Amino acid sequence: MEKLKRIFKTIRKDFHDFVPPLTVKVDQEHHYEVWAINEGVANLFGKIVLHSTYVELSFYSNIDMDTELDLFPTEIFKLMDTHFVLNINDLTPGLQENIVEAIGNLIDYLREEKLLPPDQLFKDE
pLDDT of the residue at 120: 53
Whether 47 maps to a domain, the answer reads yes
Q: Kindly report the backbone phi and psi dihedral angles of residue 21, in degrees, each rounded to the nearest multiple of 5, phi listed first.
A: -85, -15
11 within a domain of the structure (yes/no): yes
Total number of domains in the chain: 1
In-domain check, residue 35: yes
Query: Residue 85: which pLDDT band, with cuts at 50, 70 and 90?
Result: confident
Q: What is the CATH number of the domain that holds 8?
A: 3.90.1150
Question: What contacts 13, CB < 8 A, 6 or more positions away?
Answer: none
Tens digits of per-residue pLDDT, 5-28?
A: 999 999 999 999 988 888 899 999
Cα torsion angle, 76, 34, 85, 118, sign: negative
When the pLDDT of each residue in the chain is averaged and rounded to a whole number, the result is 85
- Would 26 be classed as within a structural domain? yes
Written as one string, the DSSP assignment of 54-107 is -EEEEE-----HHHHHHHS-HHHHHH--TTSEEEES---HHHHHHHHHHHHHHH
d(CA 122, CA 44): 26
Q: Is the pLDDT of residue 49 over 80?
A: yes
Q: Tell me whether residue 108 is in a domain.
A: yes
Of the candidate ranges 12-16, 101-105, 113-117, the one whose mean pLDDT is the lowest: 113-117
Tell me if 117 is assigned to some domain.
no
The boundaries of the domain holding residue 7 are 2-112
Query: Does residue 120 fall inside a structural domain?
Result: no
The reply to whether 118 falls in a domain is: no
Does position 89 have pLDDT exceeding 50, yes or no?
yes
